[in-house]
Amino acid sequence: MIKNYAGFVKIEHTLFSLPIVFAGTGMAFAFSQPPMEYSWGIFFWIFLAVLGARSYGFGVNRWLDSAIDSQNPRTKDREIPSGKISLRSAKIFVLSAAAIFLFSAYRLSPLCFFLAPIPLVLFTIYPFLKRVTIFSHLGLGLAWGVAPIGGWVAVRPHLFPLSEMLPVLLLSLFCIFWVAGFDIVYALLDEDFDRQAFPCRQFWAERMRCAYRNSFI
């Protein structure tokens, strides 16, 4: 059961995203004048927030794409289409992950809690973008791109002046194009299926050019 849920949300991807978030946190400490004090409790709530947000992101994508995944030879053995996890259980898991993320944001600061719906909305929109535009990868990039900002705001709970946030904003910009670039390459695994399922997204040559441009940027 645990193995099924770990595969459902790609737990290794959650661990992969931790350095991006904590890079934002490290920048907040490094560029703070005077130096800020910190407690280990902050790092615990940041970790829990990342776990909740990433679990929600992967889970809601699998939930909303489950009908499409069942028709795709590459994805038909995923947890929901194969019956390893029921759709009802997946929904409960996804909503629980969102609750963990929101509670963690609440424990960090009022500003974190106020901004917390932003990544949830971005993760929810992404599966629908895949159905209508070849630029959906930038949507995923944007969802990842807010991660360093979240790590920054977790320990510096204010947004102004924006000039102070320039280092983390540049890191976020890098993350947007970096994630969009490798997501385009990953999407090519489903080229044949997508040509039939999503006729509006048949610009594969343009996709590769976008991937190269994103990686260059």
Residue 212 has pLDDT above 50, yes or no: no
Q: How high is the pLDDT of residue 41?
A: 85
Q: Give me the DSSP letters along 30-66.
A: HT-SSPPP--HHHHHHHHHHHHHHHHHHHHHHHHHTH
pLDDT tens readout for residues 82-92: 888 888 988 99
What's the rounded mean pLDDT across residues 138-166? Answer: 87
Provide the token pair at 24: 């934002």
pLDDT tens readout for residues 112-141: 999 999 999 999 998 888 777 777 778 888
What's the rounded mean pLDDT across residues 159-184? Answer: 85
Query: What whole-number percentage of the chain has pLDDT above 70?
Result: 80
Residue 200 has pLDDT above 80, yes or no: no
Q: Which of 132, 129, 131 has the alpha carbon at shortest distance from 180? A: 129
Q: How high is the pLDDT of residue 74?
A: 75
pLDDT tens readout for residues 37-59: 777 889 999 999 999 999 998 88
Q: How high is the pLDDT of residue 193?
A: 57
Which residues, including other chains, have CB under 8 Å from residue 21's CB and lie 6 or more apart?
46, 50, 147, 148, 150, 151
> Cα–Cα distance between 19 and 85 in angstroms, integer?
29
Q: How high is the pLDDT of residue 53?
A: 92
Q: How high is the pLDDT of residue 30?
A: 84
> Cα–Cα distance between 139 and 67 in angstroms, integer?
21
Phi, psi of 177 (to 5 degrees): -75, -30
Phi, psi of 34 (to 5 degrees): -70, 165
Residues belonging to the chain: 217
What is the CATH class of 2-216?
Answer: mainly alpha
